[in-house]
Amino acid sequence: MTPWEELRGAAPPALLRGRPLTDAEEVLVLTYTCDLSFFEDVCLREAQAVRARTTVLYDADQLTQGPRRTDYLAVPVVCKARGAFHPKLVVIASEADAVVAIGSGNSTPSGWHHNAEVWTLLRGAGPTVPQLFHDLAAWLGRLPAAVWMDSLGRERLDRVAELLTARPAESGPGDPVLVTTAARPIIEQLPVPKAPVTTLAVAAPFFDAGAEALRRLTERFGPAELRLLLTRDVQCDPDALAGVLKRAPTGVVAAAKSSRYHHAKVVEWRTADQSWALTGSANCSTAALVRTMATGGNCELGLLTEIPGSLIDAVDSEEVDLAHPAGLQVREPGERGVSDPILRVLGVRVGAERVEATLLADGNPAPAWLMVDGLRLDHDRSDGRLHVYAGVPAPDWTLVSRGSATVHVGTDTGAEIRDVVVTDVPAALSRIDHPSPLEHTSLALVIADQAHLAALFEALAHLASVRPDRVVTLPGTNRRRQVEGRITAAVGPALLRFALGVDVADRAAPHDEEIFDGPDEPGGAPPERPEERTARNAPTTRTETVATVLDALTPGQRAVLRREVGALVEAAEEWPLPAKLAVGRLVLTLVAGGLWAEATGWSEILYWVMVHLWIAENEESLDAEHAALATIGLVALRNGLDRQLEPAGNLVGQFEDLRTAYAVRADWLAAVPADAVRRYAAGLNGHVFGVLFEQTNFVAELGWILGRTALHDAVDRLTNARLDSSSVVRVTGGRNTRQTVIAGLDALRDFTDVHVTSDGEPTVHGWWNGRRLLLVTRLGATWRAEIWCNLMTGIAIYSRGTPLRPPDRRWTASAPEEALRSLTSGA
């Protein structure tokens, strides 16, 4: 017997977040109303974190929010006899284990959080499974015969059914029994006990207009007492309900005291010794209880369970008068409207080499062709009213834009079907080899947790196994899609998006208050109470970011993380481009977040990231990302050098070599798409790079950097100095012009024989090569040249005012440059 408490179940988010199967093959969700963006936020990453393929079936007329992602299968369905597709089911399955949840809540914020719902959970671990698993598999196998859906949806149902029946069934006393509207009305499947029924209790948010289903239940069980539990915003005819209540010796109507919308559907009947309950998706309506799918009834799914108590009585309630039901906010009942015959596109499926769309021509002629974002799809085949259209895209054709996974589809008659769901079939059907923790956890929280961080580094190493040079692309196919598919299959879509600079807002696993933010069903979320309003207006808890997490680390933890990142960068030297992109973005993010307190620390590691990007083998399909990350990284590295008063000489020289190398590809960097640059730059603002860093014109800034030399940079770090168009350094200030020139030469000692001159009088020109100092001073119309040789200890002391010893040679020159040219090679 299923424990009574288990019938209250757990909403699917809690079930999926609990990860009852650590290596699931399939996750299947059936729902009536559907919010796909909500599902992505709440459950998709949890499903993909355990490597599961994920499929969501929903009523084609009841999509409240479209998807943003294409890496799972969203399947709209239409019942062939025009009933509602109304089951609520979650299956998590592998060949060795399975969990089945059957309940009353739709895949929306209301259905999976706000409302009062009932879910029943069943586990099938071990050598056998409950008989209900086999019964459910048989129902899933028959479902495509009763609804219109595309072939991919049918394939997923078949695979889930195979997994549910991979082990033999074993029945136990008191096990729940599956009931559906596939062959017989649900009401006829409710067993009538031999003993008199003392109480029939019904809780539902919807009753049909004439309370016909309630009347049929009352006639079937003949209870001594009929009890109704109603919710606010109940849909019913109070007079019709009152008429049925009079048929029972005793009739009681109650309403839940809670302000929550009670969306649970429960039918209970009790004798003196036993109690049974019908739970699941079926409301107290003729479409749910009295009809089958073939006769226009809904597609419903429920459970019959013997229970030790009462689910309905467990609700804190108070009696109400149906003659005065104003407090319930009663809405008039209405039957599901039957849509006029229309054309429906049940999804656009993008494969590696082919794009398909499935169209339901419900009473209309099928179009000759469809147009999807400039790609013509011609009629390929038919299956009754379902018509499949197909086309081969050009290699550079792409469909999904950021933030949306829907498209408008045109027909040959000029009609347009809007907001059609798009699926990337290879991504949706692949199982991830080594999911990164970013599938279910934000980057900030990954950094905060040592186990998650270790898993991220492991996933990055696994990403290095994806070598684009080994991806064979046939002519006319989309190489980018193939490369992304390989990456997704290896480490999951989250790390792919991170490597490509997408989803910088840390969308993983939002907090419940972010997800469950409003009603989307009749009644929906409860009215806001005063204490809730006070809490809402109170200061919110700060959302963790990479910067706040790094700030919270101890000095020891920061040192360990710096060493780990250093080792990661060193390992990435031989990695292919996709892995280098991910490592480069991670390093930039950690630098911006403040992992290194001083620019000297992060400049060096960022230098090596830029070297690795330079030596990375080019991959045309990732060319934009390669150029974008290199552009931002070089600008950031220059930023780090500028922050150092005297950067290490070796780093200055290394940056100069790096700048020279990248200057060879200046045209490639200048042509980088602006969108790619924006993606990688997003989120890098802050106290490290500056609050306006994200707004930098990176292409223009890098063009300026590549057009300069190390001497430009060194002069910029000096006060009162500038480099003119003839590459002469002009200095001002100081006690006298001679000392000012010597100070400039000493500061620029890494640049042998750089020409430094004073802007003050008398004009002095100077050159220093590390051992020999040449000064040329204007004396009226002539120039006096003086040379000091073998100054082994340098000239710094003379820049601070110590007098120079007498020169080794003095002569008159016609011009400063002539004095330098007149020196012998040994001078």
Q: Rounded to the nearest 5°, which phi and psi values hold at 283?
A: -75, 175
Share of the chain above pLDDT 70, in %: 91
pLDDT given at position 326: 75
pLDDT given at position 187: 98
Task: Name the DSSP class of 437.
Answer: G
pLDDT given at position 10: 63
Q: How confident is the model at residue 427 (pLDDT cuts 50, 70, 90)?
A: confident
For 675, residues 6+ apart whose C-beta sits below 8 A from its C-beta are none
For 560, residues 6+ apart whose C-beta sits below 8 A from its C-beta are none
C-alpha–C-alpha distance, residues 27 and 702, integer Å: 47
pLDDT at 642 over 90: no
pLDDT given at position 647: 74
- Tokens 């006690």: give the residue: 735
pLDDT given at position 529: 38
* Averaged pLDDT score across all residues of the chain: 89
Q: Which amino acid is at 87?
A: P
pLDDT given at position 340: 57
Of 60, 75, 62, 178, give the one whose Cα is nearest residue 111. Answer: 62
C-alpha–C-alpha distance, residues 449 and 789, integer Å: 61
pLDDT given at position 824: 60
pLDDT given at position 787: 95
pLDDT given at position 403: 57
Q: Rounded to the nearest 5°, which phi and psi values hold at 349?
A: -115, 120
State the Cα angle at 676 between 675 and 680, rounded to 5°. Answer: 115
For 161, residues 6+ apart whose C-beta sits below 8 A from its C-beta are 137, 138, 140, 141
Per-residue pLDDT averaged across 755-766, rounded? Answer: 93
Per-residue pLDDT averaged across 694-719, rounded? Answer: 88
Span 285-323, pLDDT tens digits: 999 999 999 999 999 999 999 998 888 998 999 999 898
pLDDT given at position 538: 40
Per-residue pLDDT averaged across 468-497, rounded? Answer: 83
- For 703-741, b/e burial (b = at least 16 CB within 10 A) is bebbebebbebbbebeeebebeeeeebbbeebeebbbbb
Contact assessment for residue 409 and residue 367, using Cβ atoms and an 8 Å cutoff: no
Contact assessment for residue 25 and residue 52, using Cβ atoms and an 8 Å cutoff: yes
CA atoms within 13 A on the CB side of 334: 7
C-alpha–C-alpha distance, residues 124 and 137, integer Å: 13
pLDDT at 27 over 70: yes
Of 304, 402, 387, give the one whose Cα is nearest residue 347. Answer: 387
pLDDT at 812 over 70: yes
C-alpha–C-alpha distance, residues 450 and 48, integer Å: 21
Task: Name the DSSP class of 633.
Answer: H
Please confirm whether the linkage preceding 3 is cis (ω < 30° from 0).
no
Q: How confident is the model at residue 527 (pLDDT cuts 50, 70, 90)?
A: very low
Q: Which two tokens stand for residue 350?
A: 């993008």
pLDDT given at position 472: 75
Task: Name the DSSP class of 686.
Answer: B
The H or E element containing residue 303 is: strand 301-306
Span 165-218, pLDDT tens digits: 999 999 888 899 999 999 999 999 999 999 999 999 999 999 999 999 999 999
Share of the chain above pLDDT 90, in %: 67
pLDDT given at position 536: 34
Distances in Å between the alpha carbon of 139 and those of 27, 160, 286?
17, 11, 21
Per-residue pLDDT averaged across 687-691, rounded? Answer: 89
Q: How far apart are the first and last CA of the chain?
A: 103
What's this model's pTM, rounded to 2 decimal places? 0.73
CA atoms within 13 A on the CB side of 601: 17
CA torsion through residues 117, 123, 129, 130, sign: negative
Q: What is the CA radius of gyration of the chain?
A: 37
pLDDT at 539 over 60: no
DSSP per residue, 155-211: HHHHHHHHHHTSS-EE--TT--EEEESSSS-GGGGSPPPSSPP-EEEEE-SBB-TT-
Of 20, 91, 102, 18, give the one whose Cα is nearest residue 53. Answer: 91
C-alpha–C-alpha distance, residues 30 and 80, integer Å: 17
Q: 253 or 653: whose pLDDT is higher?
A: 253
pLDDT at 119 over 50: yes
Q: How many C-beta atoms lie closer than 10 Å to residue 335's C-beta?
A: 11
pLDDT at 712 over 70: yes
Q: Which two tokens stand for residue 548?
A: 């706040």
C-alpha–C-alpha distance, residues 66 and 87, integer Å: 20
Per-residue pLDDT averaged across 25-33, rounded? Answer: 97
Of 45, 34, 28, give the one whose Cα is nearest residue 109. Answer: 34
Of 291, 282, 121, give the one whose Cα is nearest residue 203. Answer: 282
Which of these ranges, 256-270, 328-342, 409-423, 594-608, has the smallest mean pLDDT?
A: 328-342
pLDDT at 503 over 80: no
pLDDT at 8 over 70: no
C-alpha–C-alpha distance, residues 26 and 327, integer Å: 45
Q: How confident is the model at residue 525 (pLDDT cuts 50, 70, 90)?
A: very low
Q: Which amino acid is at 71?
A: D
Q: How confident is the model at residue 504 (pLDDT cuts 50, 70, 90)?
A: very low
Going by DSSP bridges, is the β-strand pair 147-148/73-79 parallel, antiparallel, or unpaired? antiparallel
pLDDT given at position 122: 93
Q: How confident is the model at residue 488 (pLDDT cuts 50, 70, 90)?
A: confident
CA atoms within 13 A on the CB side of 567: 10
Q: Rounded to the nearest 5°, which phi and psi values hold at 602?
A: -80, -20
